[in-house]
Amino acid sequence: RKEVEQDPGPFNVPEGATVAFNCTYSNSASQSFFWYRQDCRKEPKLLMSVYSSGNEDGRFTAQLNRASQYISLLIRDSKLSDSATYLCVVSRSNDYKLSFGAGTTVTVRA
């Protein structure tokens, strides 16, 4: 079983729509959680960290459910520029080794 699993999508949504997707992780000892964004043929860039209480950054909301071992990302009022692959990233400890999901592709259409 992969350490981090994501629905690859693609999620094709119109501008202005809300899109949400989850990621599951297998190691219950995981401590840190992140969503990264990766554009085609580019390096990943941190979108947001995910905190136990859930957190919001503008149009983006992240949730963590430790009991069920999943994290989620919700994008409100989608923009064309939100089109990208969103990587779920989990760290088991504070040694900064990260485990990456394969990514969920989101395409926002005009």
Partner 1 sequence: GAVVSQHPSWVICKSGTSVKIECRSLDFQATTMFWYRQFPKQSLMLMATSNEGSKATYEQGVEKDKFLINHASLTLSTLTVTSAHPEDSSFYICSARDPQGINGELFFGEGSRLTVL
Nearer to partner 1, 32 or 69 (CB): 32
Q: Which of 110, 46, 104, 38 is nearest to 78 (CA)?
A: 110
CB of 107 to partner 1, least distance (A): 15
CB of 8 to partner 1, least distance (A): 8
CA dihedral 57, 47, 27, 29 (to 10 degrees): -60
Per CB under 8 A, which of residues 18..77 are in contact with partner 1? 32, 41-46, 49
Task: Assess contact for 18 and 74: CB atoms under 8 A.
Answer: yes
Task: Assess contact for 104 and 9: CB atoms under 8 A.
Answer: yes
Task: Assess contact for 103 and 85: CB atoms under 8 A.
Answer: yes
102 part of the interface to partner 1, by CB under 8 A: yes
Stretch that binds partner 1, among 21-29, 53-61, 62-70, 92-100 (CB under 8 A): 92-100
What is the 8-class DSSP label of residue 77?
S
CB of 99 to partner 1, least distance (A): 8
Which parts of this chain interact with partner 1 (CB under 8 A)? 4, 8, 32, 41-46, 49, 87, 94, 96-103
